[in-house]
Amino acid sequence: MLRDSCSVILGLHHRQVFLERVRSKAVSLESVDKLLEFFDSVYPNIVIHTTGLTSVERCERNSSLAYHINTKLAANVARACGIRGIILIHISTDHLFTGEFPFVEESQPIQPLNIYGQSKGSAETKVLENCPNALIIRTNFYGWGPPYRCSFSDRIIKTLRKGQPLMLFEDVFFTPTIIEVLARSVFDLCRVGASGIYHVVGDERLSKLDFGLKVARHFELDIDLINISKLTDQPHLVRRPLEMSLSNQKTCSVLGRSLGNVDAHLVKLRQQEHGQAFREIQNL
């Protein structure tokens, strides 16, 4: 666990979160001055910015809120980190492209299809303007989430365990990673002094349907409850890319290792269910 090797402070917004051996402090990201005050009270070496308005539908309904949370607050954090010379890790997304090509590389110009992607894309620009050495991580992750925030794997496991049917898209492709591999890879990129944009995703590209089928098999759940669906048959949803897979070659070559395929990650996910971190997250 990263908190065995680092002292971790959670900067909180509305929700209270208590974790063992982790300090929590409320922080406003609304002004650079407030952020500087916060940094001067805790002296961080590294800041990981994970804030986001992550609902694609909500971003589309309220674009000014999306740009405020996803772009403006990221710019404020980057400005404060830039002024104090703090290493910034900014969490971005795989939602930045039209979906024409698989395994997109970091050098490809972004072309987001919706407000969520556009606001996260402009955050990347603002972050690098304000903090040129920032490390920007584009990713798509899953793992055991708290009761109030289901990850994609949580949704699959919970639904199938209840014996309920589940619809999954066969025409949406991605390269998901388990949170444990994401966290370790980001930590190691930071240790080697990486800066700029890195894709930290799994090695394997698959559809959301195939991911669900793999989860069901690893957790010995009823695959017959999974129904095939298509994003292209859902015209009421906000436009999204059908292809979100990213290439992790740059990250793998800097780290000198692969980031693992879905089966390897799902073996870890199953093992984690019996561990202390799982119990801690379930009690949040």
Ligand X SMILES: NC(=O)c1ccc[n+]([C@@H]2O[C@H](COP(=O)([O-])OP(=O)(O)OC[C@H]3O[C@@H](n4cnc5c(N)ncnc54)[C@H](OP(=O)(O)O)[C@@H]3O)[C@@H](O)[C@H]2O)c1
Binding site for ligand X (CB under 6 A): 13-15, 29, 50-52, 54, 69, 73, 91, 93-94, 120, 139-141, 149
Other beta carbons within 10 Å of 160: 22
Shorter beta-carbon distance to ligand X: residue 50 or 233: 50
Report the amino acid identity of residue 193. G
Shorter beta-carbon distance to ligand X: residue 54 or 63: 54
**262 — phi, psi (to 5°)?**
-65, -40
Shorter beta-carbon distance to ligand X: residue 82 or 121: 121
Shorter beta-carbon distance to ligand X: residue 18 or 222: 18
Give min distance, CB of 186 to ligand X, in A.
11
CB 210 within 8 Å of CB 139? no
Q: Tell me the angle at which helices 32-42 and 73-84 cross, rounded to the nearest 10 degrees.
A: 50
CB 8 within 8 Å of CB 22? yes
Give min distance, CB of 33 to ligand X, in A.
16
Give min distance, CB of 222 to ligand X, in A.
25
Give min distance, CB of 51 to ligand X, in A.
4
Select the residue whose beta carbon is closest to ligand X and give its number: 52
Q: What is the DSSP string of 71-106?
A: IIHHHHHHHHHHHHT-EEEEEEES--S-SSSSSB-T
Location of structure tokens 């292809």: 243
Give min distance, CB of 179 to ligand X, in A.
9
Shorter beta-carbon distance to ligand X: residue 51 or 207: 51
What is residue 226's three-state secondary structure?
strand
